[in-house]
Structure 1
Amino acid sequence: MFRTLGGGDLGTNRDKATHPHAVTEMCEEGGRLYADALRAGRIARTEVESAPCLLEFALLHPDPDDSEWLRPLPAPVALAQRLSPLEREIAERRRLSIQLADTFEPFMMLSSRMAATADSITVLEGGERINAALNLATTQCQTEVLTVQPSDRLSEKNLLRGLERDRPLIERGVRIRTLYQHTARYNPEKLAYVAQLANGKAEYRTVDELVERLIICDETVAFIPTRDDQQVALEVRQPGLVRYLIKVFEFMWDRAVPLSAGGRYETAPDGITEIQHSIAKLLVEGHVDEAIARRLGMNVRTCRAHIAKLAQALGSGSRAQLGYLIAQSGMLDRDR
């Protein structure tokens, strides 16, 4: 017969088994018999045996003058009976919504002022929420995206996602500038990624060290991670902080070299490669192998292989002697 607002069936278990109906859907047989009863003013009990739901939902009731007949409940009355509880529920929910609006009304102006200044720093937790915020920011970006992308095992997995995000930007004419570590020059995946996007609107440079990941869109919003696993990040819209982060990026960018200019980063005149030069500087500063590898974007095994080559080139027989020979060789004078 009819289906309730929540989808429940108001019939008896017996009726459900033999003649199931919902409270807002009139079945064909029940509708036909109810219409016949309304036209005639009554209907014989024997005629409605095929539709017991008519009695179950009180659309028919016994004729007080003749028990063999049933009289129909007028449709307006039947409708009002079923609408009444729904209208009461709607009225109650409307009352609750007004109460909620009254409760939060004193705070709405304060929130409006915060939105107007756009000086917000939002904590984003979880990869899905971080990527959703990044996708929104890049979709709205109109002029330029600045990115700092240190190498690590997580970043390699995100190359495809970055490609899907960056390609539409370039197609819209948005400029992209990306900083990698020098190790990107020896990374086939990154080189292939750059080859797909490198043109007049996408530029890639490398430096020896990068501290942390950074993405800035249109000088209005910046994203920075707060955990090594990249599962928590800050969305920064405070203008002063965003301007500061842009200055940090420009400082590194001016000291970086285009990824296409690979010659300088092969082997220097003293036989030491640029990456080994960077390792030597960190060794003298007292960093352990793991820290050096992390800062230069390589795995520890590769880092130790470079250290071994550096030691061989300088004729060092121990780690302590290597630090001394690096200092005496003058190779670090290039940084002065």
Structure 2
Amino acid sequence: MSTTHHPHGIDELCEPGAALYARALRAGRLPHAAVESAPCLLDMGLLQPDVADAGLLLPTPPAVALPRLLHTIEEDVTLRRQKEAALAEAFSPLLALDADHRAPAGDSSITALKGLESLRKAASRAAAETREEVLAIRRGKRYAESLDERRGIDVGVLKRGGRLRTLYQHTSRHSPVVSAHFERLGAYDFQARSLDHIPERLAIFDRKVAFVPSAEDPDLAVEVRHPTLVSYLVSMYQELWRSAVPLFPRKAHLPAPEGFTARQRAIARLLVEGQTDARIAERLGMNVRTCRTHIGNLATTLGSSNRAQLGYLIGKSGMLDDPE
């Protein structure tokens, strides 16, 4: 096996360097000439001159050297991220300029938006152009944190005589934050409905432009101006809206077929899909402890003693059957 040394950064311990470093640790010291086979050990601070003998090198203890090297790498990563942020900031006005000179909305157009600020600016531009309606989906824990910010965009459209239709999860029906948000918009043409399950957040402005977030990356979204794709998203939204339960201004009671609540049915459906407690809680906008309490109550109701049996009993109970 070759032990020829090749230059490299301090984030790598090469084979010749590792061998010489091990030799130094065993011997306690090395002659200065030995480092010629792996000069990287000096750059990495793994060997240091012996103050008592200039011709010798002493090994730095691994417990000291490793944290020092990791810290150096972390500093490098931080610097790279700062450069990324600076580059993104430099391109921000250029992206805005490109959006201002973009082809008409009737033309095919799909644009990736990275970062909350880019998405906020693009959504504000779309809202400023909106005169008729906004169709929105709000899902998960993060939606409540953005309601105040969203209200500014929503009210702007509503004050111009537009209408706002929003879909929420059933778990939002008892949220005081959401209720307060409804009251602020109640004077306008605003309606809300809820479902057990809804897709990731979505916003469609005047059926011309849509913003679709990435499920994997919360800082990534896609601005869609392709007429066919926007039309498809509108059709999907209308289907969800028709099957949803009124929430505002008229709050209808949730159906509970066979004695099961809508929340129990939502949890049961995700359990059968094999989702973890944490994932179920995230999908339904609740904390894990509350989710586990509901799962325990469901298991008690169905007489289940373990998770595998619970899945079987859920299927057998008919609670997931579509109502006729």
TM tier, shorter chain? 0.5 to 0.7
Match of 1:24 in 2: none
Q: Flag the structure with more relative contact order, 1 or 2, with Cα contacts below 8 A and sequence separation at least 6.
A: 2
8 Å CA contact retained: 2:132, 2:163: yes
Following TM superposition, by how much is the alpha carbon of 1:236 offset from its aligned partner in structure 2, in angstroms?
Answer: 0.8
Match of 2:46 in 1: none
Match of 1:187 in 2: 175
Following TM superposition, by how much is the alpha carbon of 1:143 offset from its aligned partner in structure 2, in angstroms?
Answer: 0.3
Whole-Å Cα distance in 2 between the matches of residues 113 and 125 of structure 1? 18
8 Å CA contact retained: 1:210, 1:296: no
Match of 1:119 in 2: 108
Whole-Å Cα distance in 1 between the matches of residues 195 and 102 of structure 2? 41
Question: What do residues 117-156 of structure 1 show as CA deviations (whole Å, max 9, x unaligned)?
Answer: 531111112111110111111111010100011122x222
Structure 1 moving runs of 4+ over 4 Å: 112-117, 260-263
Following TM superposition, by how much is the alpha carbon of 1:114 offset from its aligned partner in structure 2, in angstroms?
Answer: 4.8
Distance 1:255-1:157 versus aligned 2 partners, 3 A rule: same
Q: Greater Rg, structure 1 or structure 2?
A: 1
8 Å CA contact retained: 1:120, 1:236: yes
Whole-Å Cα distance in 2 between the matches of residues 332 and 227 of structure 1? 25
Whole-Å Cα distance in 2 between the matches of residues 123 and 255 of structure 1? 31
Match of 1:226 in 2: 214
8 Å CA contact retained: 1:143, 1:173: yes
8 Å CA contact retained: 2:110, 2:225: yes
Whole-Å Cα distance in 2 between the matches of residues 116 and 241 of structure 1? 12
Within the alignment, does 1:235 sit opposite 2:243 as a pair?
A: no
Whole-Å Cα distance in 2 between the matches of residues 198 and 229 of structure 1? 33
Distance 1:194-1:229 versus aligned 2 partners, 3 A rule: farther
Whole-Å Cα distance in 1 between the matches of residues 120 and 105 of structure 2? 25
Q: What secondary structure, in the 3-state scheme, does the structure 2 residue paired with 1:259 have? A: strand
Q: Please, which runs of 5 or more residues in structure 1 have no aligned partner?
A: 1-111
Following TM superposition, by how much is the alpha carbon of 1:113 offset from its aligned partner in structure 2, in angstroms?
Answer: 9.8
Of 287, 296, 299, which residue of structure 1 is paired with 2:275?
A: 287
Match of 2:247 in 1: 259
Whole-Å Cα distance in 2 between the matches of residues 122 and 116 of structure 1? 12
8 Å CA contact retained: 2:212, 2:223: yes
Structure-to-structure mapping, 1:120-199, within 5 angstroms: 120-152=109-141, 154-199=142-187
Structure-to-structure mapping, 1:62-73, within 5 angstroms: none
Q: What secondary structure, in the 3-state scheme, does the structure 1 residue paired with 2:180 have? A: helix
Following TM superposition, by how much is the alpha carbon of 1:299 offset from its aligned partner in structure 2, in angstroms?
Answer: 2.5
Q: Please, which runs of 5 or more residues in structure 2 have no aligned partner?
A: 1-100
Match of 1:6 in 2: none
Within the alignment, does 1:324 sit opposite 2:312 as a pair?
A: yes
Once structures 1 and 2 are overlaid, which stretch shifts more, 308-317 or 232-241?
Answer: 308-317
8 Å CA contact retained: 1:181, 1:209: yes
Within the alignment, does 1:312 sit opposite 2:300 as a pair?
A: yes
Distance 1:315-1:227 versus aligned 2 partners, 3 A rule: closer
Of 194, 200, 206, which residue of structure 2 is paired with 1:206?
A: 194
Distance 1:263-1:313 versus aligned 2 partners, 3 A rule: farther
Whole-Å Cα distance in 2 between the matches of residues 132 and 247 of structure 1? 26
Q: TM-score w.r.t. structure 1 length? A: 0.61
Q: TM-score w.r.t. structure 2 length? A: 0.64
CA-based RMSD of the aligned residues comes to: 2.4
Q: What secondary structure, in the 3-state scheme, does the structure 1 residue paired with 2:125 have? A: helix
Q: What secondary structure, in the 3-state scheme, does the structure 2 residue paired with 1:324 have? A: helix
Following TM superposition, by how much is the alpha carbon of 1:301 offset from its aligned partner in structure 2, in angstroms?
Answer: 2.1
* Number of matched pairs: 224
8 Å CA contact retained: 2:204, 2:234: yes
